[in-house]
Structure 1
Amino acid sequence: MAEPFNGPKNHDVDAAIRKVADTLHRLNLQIHQAVEAGASIELMRAHRVHNGRGQWGDQMVPIVRVPDTPAKE
């Protein structure tokens, strides 16, 4: 199994990385379902967080587009 990051890490970092990977997998499934239902989904970086020790992470916000549906007569 390929690891998203194969550098040195401790147990807490490893657990945090796995939580992010699991959450991202669930998000990807939800995006797929939304697209199949007729929406367009784009993820855009909303903010970048820093811990003051050189590490950073991007926080995302979804941009959702749903086509106009004609009014029923």
Structure 2
Amino acid sequence: MNVQTRVKERAEEQSTAMSAEQQSAIRVLANELHRLNHAVMRAVDAGVSVELVRSARHHGGEGNWGDLMIPVIVTQPR
């Protein structure tokens, strides 16, 4: 079994334990991460290096948390 297949299976297993609201939030997050990845690729193609760094951690109050990210940009002399 390849790694990509196992990741998909694991994500499906985890999603069955989530509420509809949680599943919707994860779909939104996945879509936004996809857009972020494309933006990073565009920036790299434009000549900058991009590193995403955790700037803070958001706590939801019930033991849930999420990392908040900022980009660190390095330009190359032309």
**TM-score (ref. length: structure 1):** 0.85
SS at match of 2:38: helix
Q: Which amino acid aligns with 1:62?
A: P
Alignment of 1:1-73 (within 5 A): 2=8, 3=11, 6-7=14-15, 8-69=17-78
1:68 Cα deviation (Å)?
2.2
The alignment-based identity, stated in percent, is 38
Map Cα deviations across residues 22-63 of structure 1 (whole Å, 9 max, x no partner).
Answer: 000010011011111110000000010111211100000000
RMSD: 1.8
For the pair shown, which has the larger CA radius of gyration, 1 or 2?
Answer: 1
* Consecutive aligned runs of 4 or more in structure 1 exceeding 6 Å deviation: none
Structure 2: 5+ residue runs without aligned partners?
none
**TM-score (ref. length: structure 2):** 0.80
Larger helix fraction of residues: 2
SS at match of 1:6: helix
Q: Which amino acid aligns with 1:30?
A: A
